[in-house]
């Protein structure tokens, strides 16, 4: 009997490929193992065994596999089942899912580039001869392709050698190497607590009258703290008093001064569990009991807890329970909320059991987490991860936590699989009969709706921890302010007043503007022309710092023009504003304070993000200007004021979720204010203070927002009432994409009638020289989703068979965001 195996290849093929194997191989091979297989004329891929059978393919002659790469499966059966669900639900191929799931070091192929592992030096004596040859070659050449290695070893079959080298950590698969960010330690000093009484202080100053230099240092310390109301850095003290660091050191040695570092929660993880979990307050206790009760009846529960209510500590108790039963835990977070702060907080409770799975980590680290999870080892029993960690090889999962469950970044936008990690996690948990807790201060309408329908359990925490008050939210009518000439640039008199007050007290400020750059539109006052991107149908954004015009869709950049390209006039004006302009204005309004900016442009470099957070934590920044990056994961005691520069551009964004999202964004940013005993303040500047969403934000009324938005969703047939699938067509030729989209929409209408909308050009109709058209299919709840997709696939197949349309790219996005 001939033997065959169906292989998932890491490329988007609609079908699996069948290869032939020997009897011996068929006895050894198991589902989920990796094999090296030839593909096309000369390529070699790493594939995953999907099935083993005796049916020869009919359409082609099966090739033989080259090599079995594993002794045990690296992908387990439940995982394969989840991959199949993802592929079928999100209408993509198993190859797409495989690529998203596996760390790149697992997927060796002809195109793979390897280089020496520069993070770690290895003992060369552990290398076998062929391994050494490759390793040695990397001393002369920084990177090698599989093909080069074939030449070096003079054989075709080299993947096993590479795999062994990876396992010995001698080489890396090409990608950015991630190193852990270590914040620079800043030294601070304060007067030792012995001298806190006036009497003791006088005694000290008398005593120091014989050491005038030291006395001067102490007096300078007083004057700096009185002036800045902030912790005093050793370097500032030394500069202002003119004393050398030796003088300061002697004061520290004499216990006159005390030295310390500000590093909230950032103790370097020492490898041990150092803390017991916290005693919950009554609100948290009640919530925990209710969650456990609801888990008895339902697998999924939504926890709606206001910002800073201590949700994380409730999660910690559930995690303790799960790991005490020997179960695995998945803790999902949006990428950007996955900060060092949180990682350290959990490691303090759970030590080495916590593993972090994050796109910023090197492939080695990801492979390590993968095998811990696969082998159900104690290390990695708790996986803290972003989106793709839902695709890890769990085998004993007991609990899934999805924090900030409303975050849109849980949905992958590009490339396929365009999956939603929260929804996929729910399916994953179901496979294991595990419990899922969704947590948010501003739940998605989808989840809240499910809770209302009793599909999910529902638990609330309405108080902030320690009875800290919710910040006071004030709406500032800037239309009126403009009329009465009370604006300075983009700042109202109210905002300036509050900022001045906050800074005087030594507190910090966050200013939110959801656009980066200086100003999004440059316009000629003479002829009205504004510079456009040559590749996209969108105006270029002015970035003052680099004096550039840049496209935020394709990255195109050009020097700022002095005169209008159309008419030559030099009378150019800019409209709208971004973070860069706000930063500039703040700097001139408050020249004596430190201002920083956090957006895509300032956090691009390595650790850009971490550096800004550390500086904020160490109070080196007084005012931080930023985009939505600010909304997540920041927990800083000293921020007392949040300013939202302009609420209107969020509200007016052309998307059916714009209102829901504005509400979530504004409440989340507001949640950064006043996390300690003093009440924080939030100022929202707007042209339309009577907008319902703003009223709902200012009264923190989630339910009112929910009811109103759901009304719209019913009326206009949007999710969560209807499901929807968005089809995007792309081509460089406008006429072609237009004809193709009309054809497609017409065919879809024959099946789905009025539930097909479009084709329509999106607001930015051309991106990277590709014209886009969208078609939307709305699916009533009672209509079978499976049949709907089958019909779409059938129509798509007919579409592909039309010669003219074949080059049009089609993107299917299920549950589009």
Q: Give yes or no for a contact between 411 and 445, defined as CB atoms under 8 angstroms apart.
A: no
- Find which of ligand ADP, Zn ion, none residue 284 binds, CB within 5 to 8 Å per kind: ligand ADP
The one segment of 191-199, 243-251, 279-287, 517-525 that binds ligand ADP by CB under 6 A: 279-287
DSSP string, 306-368: -TTS-HHHHHHHHHHHHHHTT-EEEEE--GGG--HHHHHHHHHHHGGGEEEE-TTS-HHHHHH
Any known ligand binding at 536?
yes
Closest CA to 616 of 472, 509, 513, 539: 509
DSSP string, 249-263: HHHHHTTSEEEEE--
Minimum CB distance to ligand ADP smaller for 317 or for 494? 317
Q: Give yes or no for a contact between 271 and 265, defined as CB atoms under 8 angstroms apart.
A: no
Place of tokens 């012995």: 194
312 lines the binding site for ligand ADP (CB under 6 A) = yes
Which residue from 281, 341, 371, 376 is in contact with ligand ADP, where contact means CB under 6 A?
281
Alpha carbons 16 and 35: distance in angstroms, whole number? 14
Minimum CB distance to Zn ion smaller for 145 or for 529? 529
Which residue from 8, 173, 429, 533 is in contact with Zn ion, where contact means CB under 5 A?
533
Binding mask 612-651 for ligand ADP (x = CB under 6 A): -----------------------x----------------
The one segment of 15-23, 32-40, 309-317, 600-608 that binds ligand ADP by CB under 6 A: 309-317
Alpha carbons 242 and 288: distance in angstroms, whole number? 56
In the complex, the smallest distance separating the C-beta of residue 313 from ligand ADP, rounded to whole angstroms, is: 4
Place of tokens 């007919």: 798
339 lines the binding site for ligand ADP (CB under 6 A) = no
The one segment of 127-135, 273-281, 540-548, 642-650 that binds ligand ADP by CB under 6 A: 273-281
Minimum CB distance to ligand ADP smaller for 129 or for 276? 276
Minimum CB distance to ligand ADP smaller for 39 or for 465? 465
* Integer CA distances (angstroms), 549 to 406, 522, 530, 534, 577, in order: 34, 9, 11, 12, 14
Which residue from 109, 131, 313, 368 is in contact with ligand ADP, where contact means CB under 6 A?
313
Secondary structure of residue 134 in the 3-state scheme? helix
- According to DSSP, the β-strands at 300-305 and 457-461 are parallel
In the complex, the smallest distance separating the C-beta of residue 513 from Zn ion, rounded to whole angstroms, is: 22
Any known ligand binding at 533?
yes
Q: Which residues of 639-661 are buried (b: 16+ CB within 10 A; e: fewer)?
A: bbbbbbbbbebbbeeeeebebbb
Which residue from 132, 269, 553, 590 is in contact with Zn ion, where contact means CB under 5 A?
553
576 lines the binding site for ligand ADP (CB under 6 A) = no
* Integer CA distances (angstroms), 226 to 232, 235, 755, in order: 10, 17, 67
Which residue from 278, 292, 529, 546 is in contact with ligand ADP, where contact means CB under 6 A?
278
Residue 395 sits at φ, ψ, to 5 deg, of -140, -5
93 lines the binding site for ligand ADP (CB under 6 A) = no
Minimum CB distance to ligand ADP smaller for 309 or for 728? 309
Alpha carbons 134 and 148: distance in angstroms, whole number? 10
The one segment of 543-551, 641-649, 708-716, 753-761 that binds Zn ion by CB under 5 A: 543-551
529 lines the binding site for Zn ion (CB under 5 A) = yes
Binding mask 403-422 for ligand ADP (x = CB under 6 A): --------------------
Q: Return the structure tokens found at 637.
A: 């005691």
In the complex, the smallest distance separating the C-beta of residue 614 from ligand ADP, rounded to whole angstroms, is: 17
Residue 587 sits at φ, ψ, to 5 deg, of -60, -35
Rounded to 10 degrees, what is the CA torsion of 624, 625, 626, 629?
Answer: 10
In the complex, the smallest distance separating the C-beta of residue 11 from ligand ADP, rounded to whole angstroms, is: 41
C-alpha Rg value of the chain to the nearest Å: 30
563 lines the binding site for Zn ion (CB under 5 A) = no
Which residue from 522, 564, 666, 779 is in contact with Zn ion, where contact means CB under 5 A?
564
Q: Give yes or no for a contact between 459 and 302, defined as CB atoms under 8 angstroms apart.
A: yes
- Find which of ligand ADP, Zn ion, none residue 635 binds, CB within 5 to 8 Å per kind: ligand ADP
In the complex, the smallest distance separating the C-beta of residue 576 from Zn ion, rounded to whole angstroms, is: 17
340 lines the binding site for ligand ADP (CB under 6 A) = no
465 lines the binding site for ligand ADP (CB under 6 A) = yes
443 lines the binding site for ligand ADP (CB under 6 A) = no
Q: Give yes or no for a contact between 698 and 684, defined as CB atoms under 8 angstroms apart.
A: yes
In the complex, the smallest distance separating the C-beta of residue 299 from ligand ADP, rounded to whole angstroms, is: 22
Residues 465-524 touching Zn ion, rule: CB under 5 A, are 524
Residue 480 sits at φ, ψ, to 5 deg, of -65, -40
Q: Return the structure tokens found at 236.
A: 């500032």
645 lines the binding site for Zn ion (CB under 5 A) = no
- Find which of ligand ADP, Zn ion, none residue 309 binds, CB within 5 to 8 Å per kind: ligand ADP
Helical (H) or strand (E) element with 199? helix 198-208
517 lines the binding site for ligand ADP (CB under 6 A) = no
Rounded to 10 degrees, what is the CA torsion of 789, 791, 796, 802?
Answer: 180
519, β-bridge pairs: 542
Q: Give yes or no for a contact between 628 and 667, defined as CB atoms under 8 angstroms apart.
A: no
In the complex, the smallest distance separating the C-beta of residue 178 from ligand ADP, rounded to whole angstroms, is: 25
Alpha carbons 640 and 673: distance in angstroms, whole number? 5
Which residue from 284, 388, 539, 670 is in contact with ligand ADP, where contact means CB under 6 A?
284
Closest CA to 99 of 417, 369, 421: 417
The one segment of 184-192, 357-365, 553-561, 647-655 that binds Zn ion by CB under 5 A: 553-561
Total residues in contact with Zn ion, by rule CB under 5 A: 15
- Find which of ligand ADP, Zn ion, none residue 298 binds, CB within 5 to 8 Å per kind: none
- Find which of Zn ion, ligand ADP, none residue 307 binds, CB within 5 to 8 Å per kind: ligand ADP
Alpha carbons 229 and 507: distance in angstroms, whole number? 8
Minimum CB distance to Zn ion smaller for 597 or for 766? 766
Phi-psi bin for 576: left (phi > 0), alpha (psi -120 to 50), beta? left
Minimum CB distance to ligand ADP smaller for 116 or for 311? 311
Binding mask 724-753 for Zn ion (x = CB under 5 A): ------------------------------
The one segment of 217-225, 307-315, 534-542, 782-790 that binds Zn ion by CB under 5 A: 534-542
In the complex, the smallest distance separating the C-beta of residue 453 from ligand ADP, rounded to whole angstroms, is: 25
Any known ligand binding at 92?
no
Alpha carbons 101 and 83: distance in angstroms, whole number? 9
In this structure, what DSSP letter does residue 697 have? H
> Annotated binding site for Zn(2+), which residues?
524, 527, 533, 536, 551, 554, 564, 567
What does the binding site for ligand ADP look like in residue numbers (CB under 6 A)?
Answer: 278-281, 284, 305, 307-313, 465, 635
What does the binding site for Zn ion look like in residue numbers (CB under 5 A)?
Answer: 524, 526-527, 529, 533, 535-536, 551, 553-554, 556, 564, 566-567, 569
> Annotated binding site, which residues?
524, 527, 533, 536, 551, 554, 564, 567
């Amino acid at each position: 009997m001939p033997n065959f195996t169906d292989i998932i290849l890491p490329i988007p093929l609609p079908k699996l490929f069948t290869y032939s194997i020997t009897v011996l191989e068929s006895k050894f091979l198991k589902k989920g193992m990796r094999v090296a297989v030839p593909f096309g004329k000369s390529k070699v891929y790493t594939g995953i065994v999907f099935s083993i059978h005796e049916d020869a393919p009919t359409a082609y002659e099966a090739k033989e596999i080259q090599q079995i790469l594993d002794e045990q499966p690296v992908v387990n059966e439940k995982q394969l089942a989840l991959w199949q669900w993802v592929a079928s639900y999100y209408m993509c191929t198993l190859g797409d899912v495989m690529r998203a799931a596996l760390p790149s070091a697992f997927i060796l192929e002809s195109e793979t580039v390897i280089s020496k592992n520069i993070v770690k030096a290895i003992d060369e004596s552990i290398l076998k001869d062929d391994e050494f040859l490759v390793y040695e070659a990397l001393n002369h050449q920084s990177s090698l392709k599989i093909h080069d290695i074939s030449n070096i070893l003079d054989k075709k079959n080299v993947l096993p050698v590479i795999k062994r080298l990876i396992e010995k950590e001698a080489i890396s698969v090409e990608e950015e190497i991630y190193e852990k960010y270590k914040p620079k330690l800043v030294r601070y000093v304060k007067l030792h607590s012995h001298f806190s009484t006036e009497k003791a202080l006088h005694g000290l100053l008398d005593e120091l009258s014989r050491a005038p230099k030291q006395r001067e240092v102490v007096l300078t310390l007083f004057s700096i703290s009185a002036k800045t109301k902030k912790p005093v850095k050793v370097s500032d003290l030394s500069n202002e008093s003119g004393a050398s660091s030796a003088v300061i050191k002697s004061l520290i040695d004499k216990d006159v001064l005390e030295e310390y570092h500000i590093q909230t929660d950032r103790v370097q993880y020492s490898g041990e569990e150092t803390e017991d979990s916290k005693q919950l307050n009554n609100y948290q206790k009640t919530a925990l009991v209710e969650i456990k009760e609801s888990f008895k009846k339902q697998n999924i529960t939504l926890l709606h807890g206001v910002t800073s209510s201590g949700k994380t500590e409730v999660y910690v108790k559930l995690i303790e329970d799960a790991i005490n039963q020997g179960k695995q835990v998945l803790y999902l977070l949006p990428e950007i909320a996955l900060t060092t702060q949180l990682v350290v907080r959990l490691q303090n409770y759970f030590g080495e059991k916590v593993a972090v799975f994050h796109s910023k980590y090197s492939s080695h680290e990801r492979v390590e987490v993968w095998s811990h999870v696969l082998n159900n080892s104690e290390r990695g029993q708790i996986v803290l991860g972003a989106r793709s960690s839902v695709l890890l090889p769990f085998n004993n999962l007991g609990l899934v936590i999805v924090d900030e469950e409303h975050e849109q970044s849980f949905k992958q936008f590009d490339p396929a699989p365009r999956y939603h990690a929260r929804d996929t996690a729910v399916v994953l948990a179901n496979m294991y009969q595990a419990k899922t807790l969704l947590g948010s201060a501003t739940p998605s309408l989808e989840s809240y709706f499910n809770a209302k329908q009793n599909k999910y359990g529902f638990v609330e925490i309405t108080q902030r921890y320690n009875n800290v008050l919710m910040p006071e939210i004030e709406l500032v009518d800037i239309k009126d302010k403009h009329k009465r000439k009370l604006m300075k640039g983009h700042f109202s008199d109210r905002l300036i007043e509050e900022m001045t007050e906050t800074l005087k007290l030594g507190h910090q400020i966050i200013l939110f503007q959801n656009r980066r750059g200086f100003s999004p539109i440059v316009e000629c006052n003479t002829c009205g022309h504004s510079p456009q991107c040559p590749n996209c149908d969108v105006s270029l954004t002015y970035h003052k710092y680099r004096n550039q015009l840049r496209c935020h869709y394709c990255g195109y950049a050009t020097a700022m023009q002095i005169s209008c390209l159309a008419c030559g006039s030099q009378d150019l004006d800019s409209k709208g504003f971004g973070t860069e302009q706000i930063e500039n204005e703040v700097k001139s309004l408050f020249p004596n304070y430190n201002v920083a900016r956090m957006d895509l442009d300032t956090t691009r470099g390595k650790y850009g993000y971490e550096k800004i957070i550390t500086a904020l934590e160490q109070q080196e920044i007084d005012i931080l200007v930023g985009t939505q990056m600010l909304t997540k994961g920041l927990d800083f005691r000293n921020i007392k004021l949040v300013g939202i520069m302009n609420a209107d551009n969020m509200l007016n964004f052309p998307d059916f979720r714009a209102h829901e999202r504005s509400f979530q964004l504004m409440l989340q940013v507001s949640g950064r204010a006043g996390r300690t005993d003093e009440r924080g303040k939030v100022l929202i500047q707007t042209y339309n203070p009577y907008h319902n969403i703003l009223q709902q934000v200012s009264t923190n009324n989630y339910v009112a927002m929910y009811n109103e938005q759901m009304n719209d969703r019913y009326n206009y047939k949007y999710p969560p009432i209807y499901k929807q699938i968005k089809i995007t067509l792309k081509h460089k030729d406008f006429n072609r994409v237009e004809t193709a989209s009309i054809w497609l929409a017409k065919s879809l209408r024959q099946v789905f009638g009025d539930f097909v909308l479009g084709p329509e050009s999106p607001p930015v109709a051309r991106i990277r020289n590709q014209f886009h058209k969208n078609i939307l299919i709305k699916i009533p709840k009672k209509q079978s989703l499976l049949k709907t997709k089958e019909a779409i696939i059938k129509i798509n197949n007919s579409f592909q068979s039309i010669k003219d349309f074949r080059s049009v790219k089609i993107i299917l996005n299920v549950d589009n965001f």
